[in-house]
Chain A
């Protein structure tokens, strides 16, 4: 059966570090980076990219629209 894999791209400089995406992700792909962006916010990053299914939940709850989601069948 074809498996779906996803990938996210975070616009780091626009992320405000609210962490909503971390809790919205059903497969625990996202965590906050220990580094900060130019505004001083810890930004979201995909620490577990292999688990991403491209469900778009993180992007849908992001108040700042910083997450872009890609998905393909493998």
Chain B
């Protein structure tokens, strides 16, 4: 074989195998370098493009790093008060049942101020998809301790590490919602490696397919990193996440429908 195939010969539309989804806007995301949010946005955009539902889907973004999601995804997106995304999504879905509805929330939002809304929306079995980004910290406001912060993990409000005797145990939201009868599909995934990204993308696709069939709440947790909040490089943060977060937040499906 010849190695004299030049780059110019290869770069043609018919050879294209991967490019950013057209559901993403051209804006540069506001996320820090290496943040899993960007990857999560990208795969949601890809699934929406593959299913061709760009005009039929409504996202709900509450407060957190993802608050500016409407700038990055070319979709109808509604802002919600802190933690209230599942309640707003419930209203949207009930008023427009023909639309796909999803919420995109971080751990400081979904697992702290929004715990009640999340649990009740899941318990009612609202026909929405909840995407939960868990990085164990309040990233947007400067790395404060979140309910999901691990025992002994340092944050700006737990500088000596989280002490469970005074601060409680890290909250496993996905385990909790999996026990509720209203949820249909509950899974925990991550986006730090190509294989994980592909799996997470499949999970999002499945959740939206189930929503089309009116099956109930689909809950997807994505364990992610926060290089700035954890004060590590992106590569180090992913390694730390694999070594420290995954033993406490193991990846896998928590509730899989019987039809699979």
Contact of B235 among A23, A60, A71 (CB under 8 A): A23
Name which residue of chain B comes closest to A14, CB basis: B28
- Contact yes or no, A63 B36, CB < 8 A: yes
Name which residue of chain A comes closest to B227, CB basis: A18
Contact with B along A51-74 (1 / 0, CB 8 A): 000101101111111111111101
The docked-state distance in angstroms from the alpha carbon of A23 to that of B11 is 24
Question: Is B10 an interface position by the 8 A CB rule?
Answer: yes
The docked-state distance in angstroms from the alpha carbon of A54 to that of B19 is 12
Task: Describe A's contact surface by its main secondary structure.
Answer: mixed
- Contact yes or no, A49 B39, CB < 8 A: no
- Contact yes or no, A19 B17, CB < 8 A: no
Contact with A along B12-48 (1 / 0, CB 8 A): 1001111111001000110111111111001000000
Name which residue of chain B comes closest to A2, CB basis: B1
Question: Is B5 an interface position by the 8 A CB rule?
Answer: yes
B84 CB → nearest A CB, Å: 27
Indicate whether A74 sits within 8 Å of B5 (C-beta atoms), given known contacts A18-B234, A59-B18, A65-B24. Answer: yes
Name which residue of chain A comes closest to B42, CB basis: A65
| A1-41 at interface with B (beta carbon < 8 Å) | 3, 5-7, 9, 14, 16-20, 23-24, 41
On B, residues with C-beta under 8 Å from A are 1-3, 5, 7, 10-12, 15-21, 24, 28-29, 31-39, 42, 191-194, 197-198, 227, 233-235, 238
On A, residues with C-beta under 8 Å from B are 3, 5-7, 9, 14, 16-20, 23-24, 41, 49-50, 54, 56-57, 59-72, 74
Question: What 7 new A-B contacts, CB under 8 Å, besides A19-B233, A20-B234?
Answer: A16-B32, A23-B235, A49-B7, A54-B17, A63-B35, A70-B11, A74-B5
